[in-house]
Structure 1
Amino acid sequence: MSAQRPADGPARDGHLHAWAELLRAPAAFTVPGDVLAGTAAAGTRPTGRTALAAGASLCLYEAGMALNDWADREEDATARPHRPLPSGRVRPGAALAAAGLLSAAGLALAACAGRRALAVAGPLAATVWAYDLGLKHTPAGPAAMAAARSLDLLLGAAAGPGAVRRAIVPAAFLGSHTLAVSLVSRRETEGGSSTAPLTALAAAGALTTVLAGRPTAHPAPDASTGAPTPATPADKAARAVRAALAASYAATFARPLAHAALNPSPELTQRAVGAGVRATIALQSGLMARAGAPGTGVLTAALAPLAAHLARKVSTT
């Protein structure tokens, strides 16, 4: 038997790295929190159906990443020649096929999670494809991206027996954050505008206030006196978790936005976009804590260091 050529290992690693770039591997850590936040907002605990919904969410998200680069391959040949498709490291046909297969897998997993989950996953998949193939470069682009994230959170609520309507407000909060990041990302290759970073900074401040505020489920007043129930040690701990997650969200997103507002260069604008993507995890975690699931929020927040570590090797944007 002939020995394996030394070049095989590096070549294989390079191919895997190209696909990790195409699929924005660090951003994948921001996906499970959508479903978990929706589950918490609906007032239910994670179950096997939650896991299926999370798998569907991840498949549809990565389908959007692959389709995004396929749709932008000619533009990237000029603006981002290092990307996997224009550099020739991934074939356009392979990227399009991956988008189709991942979309089909996402819908199949959603169907396994139940009819309500599939009823949300269908519009989510349609939004992803509409954004990448037509809406991205129109004024409706950022709103479509925000709608996709909001639907992703609702997917988590729909996978369980809880009331989906309870997740509408948290979905709007997540959509607002996504809208802010999307507006900043529209100038990430050329920079030159402080308006979007300043607008996003204002949105981040408002969302930080929401996360640090009172939970959506308030303790019942004392039945005999009608007075508010005294805070228990668990209540105080939950309040501390909400404050910590709110601070984490602000610290992750606000500083890069301030830098991009003061100096809207392409480099600093791209850093702000990457920070906004990673800050999604802290926002999801804060929404979970606000909905009465601080433990799940803390566990989800642990994904942020993993995303940051991988982002040093693979670009988030």
Structure 2
Amino acid sequence: MSVNQALHIRTLPEPAAMLRLIKPITWFPPMWAYLCGVISSGVAPAGHWGMILLGVVLAGPIVCGMSQAANDWCDRHVDAINEPDRPIPSGRIPGRWGLWIALTMTVLSLLVGWQLGPWGFGATVVGVLAAWAYSAEPIRMKRSGIWGPGLVGLSYESLPWFTGAAVLSAGAPSWPVVIVALIYGIGAHGIMTLNDFKALEGDRQMGVNSLPVTMGPARAARLACWVMGLPQLGVIVLLLAWDRPLHAAAIAAVLAAQIWAMRVLLTDPKGRAPWYNGTGVTLYVGGMMIAAFAIRTLEVLP
């Protein structure tokens, strides 16, 4: 190593790299799901704005940001193959700084979650444990193309939805809230499978058995489309059974638009996956909010 290279070895992380590490673009799904929970609770937001804002920040920048930092630290060897310009493999976050950031944000998550009462804190503990179970050895659930995306889908959609409803209700949400939140979390498995397309080569080399690796891009994309579509059909059936035909029709229209986008995706699954993540996923989460407003008007069913 030359003298000039030695002089340029970084010992502190770049601020811009720290922001990239926690990936602001990933914060939207859990923040949106938390708001869906708030809406579906049926509780008027007046007088609760502080709790709502705190929950949104907790779900997005703090817990989701923490999970991204933990994942990048645990995936640094895979990222060195797939995306060597990422903050940790590129050296812009040097040494063990990635781990310290993830651990610090874990503690921050628990401290903020404590402010949301027992339901909010309990959900935060579950979210933190899920984040580390997904990425870290010896559990590292992301090695499985079934359990890994399933855990992330439930953590990104079902858990924050449940939390938003529980915090506003100051108790357990009604069972329609729980069922619909769970259904959308299951459907998000397909979204996470499509997200795995970007890491296809590195996952194959490092033994991460994502569905695009084990099934191939074409079959994995078809399965992801079914996994995303069928749960939404289930929500439509439930809303019809609960006498909410207009909301059911709106979600059916959203699903029809997704089916068009899925047809485009399947023409080139690997190349079109980023496009679908911006198009089809937007429609998917739009349907979530429609369902939240439908549930808001329900009386608690026996």
Short-chain TM bin: 0.7 to 0.9
Contact 2:255 2:283 in 1 (8 A): yes
Give unmatched runs, 5+ long, in structure 1.
1-13, 220-234, 294-317
Q: In the TM superposition, what whole-angstrom CA distance separates every residue of 1:28-80 from its partner, at most 9, and x where no partner exists?
A: 22232211222233332332323322222121111011111111111111121
Contact 1:204 1:254 in 2 (8 A): no
- Find the partner of 2:275 among 254, 271, 288: 271
Alignment match, 2:100 = 97
Contact 1:64 1:99 in 2 (8 A): yes
Aligned counterparts of 2:44 and 2:34: Cα–Cα separation in 1: 11
Identity %: 22
Give unmatched runs, 5+ long, in structure 2.
1-12, 201-211, 298-302
Contact 1:31 1:57 in 2 (8 A): yes
| Structure 2 length-normalised TM | 0.73
Contact 1:194 1:260 in 2 (8 A): no
Q: In the TM superposition, what whole-angstrom CA distance separates every residue of 1:219-258 from its partner, at most 9, and x where no partner exists?
A: 7xxxxxxxxxxxxxxx99xx3x77556645664x545533
Cα 1:250–1:196, aligned 2, differ >3 Å: closer, same or farther?
farther
Alignment match, 1:155 = 163
Alignment match, 2:179 = 169
- Find the partner of 1:114 among 104, 112, 117: 117
One-letter code aligned to 1:30: P
Aligned counterparts of 1:260 and 1:168: Cα–Cα separation in 2: 31
Alignment match, 1:197 = 221
Alignment match, 2:51 = 49
Query: Match of 2:143, SS?
Result: coil
Query: Match of 2:217, SS?
Result: coil
| Structure 1 length-normalised TM | 0.70
Aligned counterparts of 2:73 and 2:279: Cα–Cα separation in 1: 24
One-letter code aligned to 2:52: T
Contact 2:188 2:228 in 1 (8 A): no
Cα 1:284–1:93, aligned 2, differ >3 Å: closer, same or farther?
farther
Aligned counterparts of 1:126 and 1:159: Cα–Cα separation in 2: 20
Cα 1:198–1:34, aligned 2, differ >3 Å: closer, same or farther?
same
Alignment match, 1:186 = 196
1:146 and 2:153 equivalent? yes
Aligned counterparts of 1:103 and 1:246: Cα–Cα separation in 2: 39
Aligned counterparts of 2:15 and 2:250: Cα–Cα separation in 1: 36
Contact 2:154 2:186 in 1 (8 A): no
Contact 2:40 2:293 in 1 (8 A): no
One-letter code aligned to 1:105: L
Aligned counterparts of 1:280 and 1:120: Cα–Cα separation in 2: 24
Cα 1:92–1:198, aligned 2, differ >3 Å: closer, same or farther?
farther
1:71 and 2:88 equivalent? no
C-alpha RMSD of the superposition: 3.1
Query: Match of 1:81, SS?
Result: coil
Cα 1:165–1:75, aligned 2, differ >3 Å: closer, same or farther?
same
1:286 and 2:285 equivalent? no
Q: Which has the higher helix share?
A: 2
Aligned counterparts of 1:285 and 1:35: Cα–Cα separation in 2: 10
Aligned counterparts of 2:164 and 2:241: Cα–Cα separation in 1: 19
